[in-house]
């Protein structure tokens, strides 16, 4: 039975990336009035692949997002190859993935995913009031107790609920008194795309099949240090075939020409990738890299868990709450889960969407999300040191999965078997002494 205390909240979301738009959709569906404030225009969204496993895809479906509009490629295999030769070392088939977990494993191009979430949040069709979007709003201050956000352009807004979805360098996080503890990761990543039409044009090996994902291990010289060199390949943007193959090329930072922090939006020459000993890679893969486009360096950092995620009427989510390395392919999914938790907690099923209970709702949000996201965050660091710590290289079936879980590995079972609705209901029952 819906709560009689439910109030339609005025929500201000600072940041309009994947996480912020997911939160906007979730809270719109929950019946709230949502305004999204983005520091820039959306035409500078960085192009890269987004992994959306079943634990992320389930929420897109629950929110009635038009997933086909995102032009997904469904992942069907995880393949590990030897560095120098391209020889297949392991092939993990995901043909029963949907049957077991209820959803497919989608691979999206970031720009496709972002555009569809934007349309879902702002469309006149669909459940809830369309969200409003304000660009060129750079957050300057947040009064979490009063529910006020001040932007550098002089605009001040009041809200019942403030959500900081403003990324790794979050201003909202700083304003909530959360002190980041981070250090440089031992790797830098170069991201690049290869067009399927170029693969055909130049007669290159075709890795664009939706049933193909490459994870090359380190070469013989580095077999004792799996944190040194590895490359992840995925396909995305299906229209009608995979238009892109996307590569994440990881290498020691000292071997790169880019030691600066964060994303760099200027394309780099392919020699910047090959100088990091990628010239010893399987020749077929080297040929693909030589014909790549949109080559961007990505500086990586290891973030320690934060002390808290909320204060007063404000909270953080996504990278602002749990910045993590990309080696578990769960960054987007964890941001989507953050959004889902906020949508459920502040739905009319519970009493948190009321003037008196918003802070209590955010406390519950932290209780629900912080341990799980922190676990993924920690597992992403472990996978930097050992590729076999990746979720994808952990068996889905008992007893192997049970053994892996007992050893502390993050498993597909743990990620996809999680029932957030049940978890929240159980925690609310504890609060009420049931």
Domain range summary for the chain, segments of one domain joined by +: 10-46+110-181+304-431
Q: What's the pTM value of the predicted model, to 2 decimals?
A: 0.92
Q: Give the pLDDT confidence score for residue 225 in this predicted structure.
A: 39
The sign of the torsion formed by the CA atoms of 226, 227, 230, 236 equals positive
Q: What pLDDT does 405 receive?
A: 60
- Cα of 3 vs its chain's centroid, Å: 32
Q: How far apart are CA 354 and CA 7, in angstroms?
A: 5
CB contact at 8 A, 34 and 15: no
Whether 215 contacts 86, CB under 8 Å:
no
Q: Which residues contact 434 (CB under 8 A, 6 or more apart)?
A: none
pLDDT less than 70: residues of the chain? 1, 42-47, 208-228, 239-242, 258-265, 392-407, 434
CA-based nearest residue to 372, from 330, 403, 430: 330
**CATH assignment, 10-46+110-181+304-431:** 3.50.50.60
Alpha helices by DSSP H, 304-354: 319-322, 331-345
| Calpha distance 302→307 (Å, rounded) | 16
Q: What is the pLDDT of residues 362-407, one digit of tens each?
A: 999 999 999 999 999 999 998 887 777 878 655 445 556 566 666 6
**Closest C-alpha among 228, 234, 281, 218 to residue 256:** 228
């Amino acid at each position: 039975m819906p709560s009689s205390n439910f109030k339609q909240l005025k929500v201000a979301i600072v940041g309009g990336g994947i996480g912020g738009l997911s939160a906007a959709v979730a809270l719109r569906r929950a019946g709230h009035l949502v305004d999204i404030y983005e520091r820039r225009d959306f035409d500078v969204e960085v192009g890269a692949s987004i992994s959306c496993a079943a634990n992320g895809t389930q929420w897109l479906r629950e929110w009635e997002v038009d997933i086909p509009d995102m032009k997904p490629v469904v992942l069907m295999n995880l393949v590990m190859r030897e560095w120098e030769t391209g020889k297949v070392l392991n092939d993990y088939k995901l043909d029963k993935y949907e049957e077991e977990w209820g959803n497919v494993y989608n691979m999206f191009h970031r720009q496709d995913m972002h555009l569809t979430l934007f349309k879902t949040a702002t469309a006149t069709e669909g459940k809830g009031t369309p969200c409003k979007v304000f660009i060129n709003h750079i957050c300057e201050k947040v009064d979490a107790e009063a529910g006020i956000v001040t932007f550098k352009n002089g605009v001040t807004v009041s809200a019942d609920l403030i959500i900081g979805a403003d990324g790794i360098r979050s201003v909202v996080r700083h304003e909530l008194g959360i002190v980041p503890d981070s250090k440089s990761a031992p790797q830098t990543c170069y991201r690049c795309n290869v067009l399927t039409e170029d693969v055909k044009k130049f007669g290159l090996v075709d890795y664009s099949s939706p049933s193909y994902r490459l994870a090359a291990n380190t070469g013989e010289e580095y077999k004792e240090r799996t944190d040194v060199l590895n490359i992840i390949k995925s396909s995305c943007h299906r229209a009608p075939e995979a238009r892109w193959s996307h590569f994440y090329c990881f290498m020691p930072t000292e071997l790169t020409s880019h030691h600066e922090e964060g994303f760099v939006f200027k394309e780099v020459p392919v020699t910047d990738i090959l100088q990091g000993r990628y010239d010893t890679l399987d020749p077929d893969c080297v040929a693909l890299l030589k014909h790549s486009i949109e080559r961007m360096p990505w500086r990586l950092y290891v973030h320690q868990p934060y002390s808290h995620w909320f204060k007063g009427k404000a909270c953080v989510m996504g990278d602002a709450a749990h910045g993590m390395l990309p080696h578990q392919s769960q960054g987007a999914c964890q941001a989507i889960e953050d959004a889902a938790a906020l949508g459920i907690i502040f739905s009319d099923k519970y009493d948190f969407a009321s003037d008196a209970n918003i802070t209590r709702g955010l406390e519950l949000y932290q209780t629900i999300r912080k341990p799980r996201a922190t676990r993924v965050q920690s597992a992403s660091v472990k996978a930097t040191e050992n590729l076999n710590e990746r979720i994808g290289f952990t068996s889905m079936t008992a007893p192997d999965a049970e053994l892996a879980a007992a050893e502390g590995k993050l498993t597909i079972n743990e990620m996809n078997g999680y029932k957030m609705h049940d978890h929240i209901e159980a925690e609310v029952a504890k609060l009420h002494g049931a």
